Amino acid sequence: MAEPTTEIDEGLYSRQLYVLGHDAMRKMGAANVLISGMKGLGIEIAKNLVLAGVKSVTIHDPDSITMGYLSSQFFFRAADVGKNCAEVSRERLAELNSYVRVEVLAGELSEEAVSKYQVVVLTQSPLDEQRSVGDYCHTQNIRFIVADTRGLFGQVFCDFGENFTVFDMTGEQPISVIISSVTKETKSVVTCSDETRHNFESGDYVTFAEVQGMTELNGCEPKPVTVLGPYTFSVGDTSGYSEYTRGGIVTQVKQPTVISFKSFSSSLTEPEFIVSDFAKWDRPAQLHLAYQSLDAFVKREGQLPRPYNKEDGLKLVELAKKINSEATNKVDEIDEHLLAKFSYLARGDVSPMQAVIGSITAQEIVKACSGKFNPIRQWFYFDALECLPEDFHELPEEAVKATDSRYDGQVAVFGVDFQKRLEHLKYFVVGAGAIGCEILKNFAMMGIGACPEGVIYVTDMDIIEKSNLNRQFLFRPWHIQKPKSTTAIESVKEMNPALNAVAHENRVGPESEGVYDDKFFEALDGVANALDNVDARLYMDRRCVYYRKSLLESGTLGTKGNVQVVIPHLTESYGSSQDPPDKETPMCTLKNFPNQIAHTLQWARSEFEGLFVQPGANVNEYLSDPEFVARIIKQQGQTPFQIFGIIKKSTVDDLPSSFDDCIVWARNLFSEYFERTIAQLLHVFPPNHNTTTGQPFWSGPKRCPKVINFDLKESLHVDFVQSAALLFAETYCITDVKDRAYIAEKAASVTVESFVPKNIKIHTTDAEARADEQITTSEEELETIVQSLPSVASLGSFKMAPLDFEKDDDSNHHMDFIVAASNLRATNYSIPIADRHKSKGIAGKIIPAIATTTSLVVGLVCLEMYKLVIGNKKIESYKNGFINLALPFFGFSEPIGAPKTKYNDVEWTLWDRFDVPGLKEDGSEMTLRDFLDYFKNQHQLDINMLSYDVSILYSFFMDKKKVAARMAMPMSRVAQEASKKGIRPGVRNLVLEICCTDANDEDAEVPYINYNFK
C-alpha cells in the first residue's frame, strides 16, 4: 500500500476525525478503491467513500442509463438516459470532495486492471465474476468485497486476506482509571480508587503511570488483565517489584489483532455469518442459498424472475432444492415461502435498501483501508420483509410491471397503487443537516410528495459551513453560508423534479407555533425528525402525540446509530423513556482538584463565559433596564451580590482605556489562575498534608498541583495572554489591538501582585460548597455594593460586547483561549495536555459523525416509513434499531407498546384525551359550569381543579366569589382571564388538565383535555 498522506483538512473532516482519528484517516488518504457497478447500490457506496476521504475511487460500469435506474441512483437525471453509467456518476461524485480523485475504468475487470487497487468492490455482479475476481484478489492480498440488493433483501461479503491486522477493534476511547492499591504477590490484585468500576475485560492490556513505590509498573510493557471483580483485576506477578505506596493511573492499551479470511470460493461453500436480526437467526443460511439460486436462475432463463410471477417463484425454489442437495453445508429445511418472496422481489430496486447495504459496505471499505474497527466475517444478509403488507398476497403482475418510469424498481416491490399513495403524502422533515439530507434524498427517490396533492415541508434555521460538507451530501463548497433548508430542497429537486417541497428557516418550538399550527399539523401524514438535540426532539414528540401523527426518530454518534418509530395508539412516544442524565463532574473537582483533561477543558469553557460573556450581558442589562437593580435584589442568596460585583468590576475596577490595559489585565489573569490560586491551594493543603484519618490528602483522584511562573519563552504562556487580551479588548469594543510580539513584550514588563496567603476555606466536597452558598448577603453589604456602582448617566454611551462562543472560527481566538487555559491548568496538575483538535471536541461538545452511519440509519428510517404507509397494524411488524458499524453490531426490537392507565372502567394511553366540543347547538360557547357538568354527566368524574398552561381556572380552594363569577363565563374567556394573556389567532383548541375523583370518589389519573372552542 502507498505511503499515507500527512495533510488532513481538519475543517472539512472535523466530525469524522473524532470517529477515525488521524492515523486511520492518513491510511485512507493513501488507498485506491475500485467499485464496479454504478446503479443505486454502487453510487451509495461510492458517495459515502468519497465523503470519507480515500485517495481515489475508480468506478466501473459499461452499461447505459435507463429510466428504471432512477429508482435509486440519485445522481442520474432523465436527461442522462442512454449515457454511460460510470461517466455520468464520475462527474457528480467528483463534486463531493476535491481531495478525492474519481476516475472511470473502461473495459473488462481483468486481473491486470484489478491488481492496481488496494480494495475491489463488486455490486450486483454474477456469481462467476465474484468467484474469479474474489479468488484472484485473495491470492494478491487485495481486499475484496461483494455487495448486492434484490428488492427488500441485501447481501455483503468481505475478504481482507489471510493476515489482516486490525489496530483498534471497537474505536472506543481507551479506559483509564485511578488505582488505590497493588498487592505484591504472584497473582497481584489491583484495586480501583473510590470503588470506581474499571470496565476492563479479561484479555485487555494495560500500562501504568504515576505509581509511587512500585515504580516498576510505570511505563511498563502492556500487561494482560485478568478481571477479578468490578473494582479489582490482576496484572500477573508483581512479587519481585518494590512495595506499592500510593497513587497511580492504569490505562488500556489497544493491541493489534490479526484476522484470517477465507477466499470467496471457500467461504461460499463454508460460510460464516453475521446475524443482522436475532429474531431471524436462521435467515442468513436461507438467503445464502437464495442468492446462489438466483444466479442459477439467471444463467438458465437469461433474465431475473418476473415480479410476483408464481411460475418463476417455483422455478427458483426448485433450483434451490437442487443446489442445497449438492452442498456440503446443507440447509436443514428450505423456507419455500421465503424463497418465493425472494423471487417475486428480485427485480426490485428501492432507495432505502440501497442506503442500508451501501452504507454498511462503505464502512467495510473504510475498515479495509484503515485497519480500524472489526470487519464483517464474512457474510452479512439483511431483509426488510416486514415492509410488505401483514396480510401478504401476491400482487397481480399488471400492478408491478415496468412502464419505463423512474419508480419501476419500487413499483416492482409494492405495486403501482402504493406508489401513488407515496406521491400523495404530506410530510414534515425537521432539520436539514446530515440526517435531514439523507431523508430528503431517500424521499426524492421514493417519490414522497411528488405530485401536486403531496408535499414535503423541511425546516432548518442553520446555514451551511465547511465542516458540513463531509457528511451533508446535498451541499457543495459553493453552497457555504447559504441556508440549509432551501439549498437542500434545490438539490433534491434536481434529483426528482416532480418533488413538491417547501423550505422553511424556522426553529421548532413555542415561538413557531403560529406557523406550525393546528391546520398545519392536522394536514400532515407524519413527521421525520432530523435533529441534533434532545430538547427539540422532545418538543416535536409532544406535538406528534397531541396531533396523533407518526414520528420517525433517529440519531447517530460516530459509528453508532439508533432508529425509533412512534405510532399513534400503538407504541410509546420518544419522550416515554429517556437515557439517564450524564454524570456531572463535581464543582469542587473542576475548581480545585481536576485529574483529567476533560476537567480542565470544562473549567476553561466556564471561565470563558465568566470573563467574556456574562460581564457584558450584565452590564448592558444594567444600562438598559431601569428596573434591573430592583429586580436582581429580589433574588435570593448571594446571587445579587455576585452580579453587582461583576458589574462594578467591569465598569470600574477593570475598565480598560487602551489595549495596553487589556494586556496588563491578561498578564494579571495568568498570575491569578496559574500562580496565586495554586499557591493558595498549597498553602491550605501542603503536599504532605494528611486527612483526619491520617491518609495522604493528595492521593487517589486528587493530584497535587504546582505553581507555574510566567515565562516569555514558553509559547503556551504567551498564547494565553495574547488570546485573553484580544478577547477582553473585544468585549470593550477596543479595536486598536497589537501583534503577538508587542503583547509578549508588554506582558513581560508587567509587575504582578505577589502572593500573600489568605485565611480562607477551600471546599473539598460539593456538599460543603452548597452549605456555604446558603449564607445570604446582609442588607448592609448589598446596599454598600449597589451604592458603589457607577450611575448609568456617568457611563454615557458606554456599552459592552459580550461574546458568543464559536468553536469553528479559528480567527476569533475563542479556542486559542480555551486550549491555552486548559493546557496551562493541566500543566499545573501534571495532567497530559491535549492538542487543539481534541480540545475543540471536548470543549465544543462536538458529536462525532461519519457519513456511513447517517445514511444507514436513514435507510432504516425509510423502511419503517414503508410500513406506516402500507398500513401495518401489528407492533411486531415494526423495528426499533440500534447499530454499531465498528463492531459490527445490529440489534432490532419491537417498539414498546404504549403503557395503559385506567379510570372508572376506561383504559387509556398517552395517545388518548378528552375531546370536548366547546360550542353548543345554539352556537354559544360552553361555560365553566357547563364544562364541569359535562364531565360529571358524560364521564362520571368530579373535577376539583382545572388548569390551562400554568394558570388555575377553577379549584375547590379558590375564592368563592371568583368561582361564582367564572361559572357563567365562556371557557375561552376564563382561560384568558386566568392566564392574563390572549389566545393567539388561529388557535382553535385549548389544552386543559384536571384533577378529579372517579365514580368511587377516589383520585383518578385521567388524560388531558382538548377543548375546541371554534
DSSP structure string for 641-703: HHHHHHHHIIIIIS--SSHHHHHHHHHHHHHIIIIIHHHHHHHHS-TT-B-TTS-BSS-TT-P
CB 415 within 8 A of CB 514: no
Catalytic choice (158, 220, 451, 588): 588
Do residues 658 and 733 lie in contact, with contact meaning Cβ atoms separated by under 8 Å? Answer: no
Contact predicate 899/893, CB 8 Å = no
DSSP designation for 463: B
Q: For residue 840, give the amino acid letter.
A: K
d(CA 370, CA 327): 36
137 is catalytic: no
Provide the 3-class DSSP secondary structure of residue 110.
Answer: coil
Q: Could you give the C-alpha distances from 187 to 177, 180, 230, in angstroms and in order?
A: 20, 17, 17
DSSP secondary structure code for residue 764 in this structure: S
Distances (CA, A) of 159 to 132, 134, 265, 694: 13, 8, 11, 61
CA dist 413 and 347 (Å) reads: 8
Spatial contact of 622 and 628, defined as CB atoms under 8 Å apart: yes
For the beta carbon of residue 907, count every other beta carbon within 10 angstroms: 9
Please give the C-alpha separations between residue 664 and each of 474, 687, 737, in angstroms, as whole numbers: 49, 31, 13
Cβ atoms of 249 and 179 within 8 Å: the answer is yes
CB atoms within 10 A of CB 311: 10
Neighbours of 633 (CB within 10 A): 15
Tell me how far apart the alpha carbons of residues 766 and 772 are, in angstroms, rounded to a whole number: 10
The answer to whether the beta carbons of residues 43 and 441 sit under 8 Å apart is: no
Would you give the distance in Å from CA 103 to the centre of its chain?
A: 33
Closest C-alpha among 788, 830, 800, 569 to residue 698: 830
Spatial distance between the Cα atoms of 544 and 528, rounded to a whole number of angstroms:
10
Of 371, 356, 453, nearest in space to 118 by CA = 371
Which contacts qualify for 751-756: CB closer than 8 Å, 24 or more apart?
752/667, 752/668, 752/671, 752/675, 752/710, 753/668, 753/671, 753/676, 755/675, 755/676, 755/679, 755/680
| DSSP-based helix, strand, coil % in the chain, nearest 5 | 40, 15, 40
For residue 639, what is its C-alpha cell?
446571587
What is the number of other CB atoms lying within 10 angstroms of the CB of residue 751? 8
Cβ contact 456:447 at 8 Å: no
Number of Cβ within 10 Å of residue 461's Cβ equals: 15
Residue 599: partners with Cβ closer than 8 Å, 6 or more residues away = 585, 589, 590, 831
What distance in Å separates the CA atoms of residue 39 and residue 389, rounded to the nearest whole number?
27
d(CA 1010, CA 999): 22
Instruction: State how beta strands 249-252 and 232-234 pair.
Output: unpaired
d(CA 370, CA 487): 33
Cβ neighbour number for residue 920 with a 10 Å cutoff: 11
Q: How far apart are CA 52 and CA 366, in angstroms?
A: 8
Q: Which residue has the cell 484580544?
A: 726
Catalytic residue set: 588
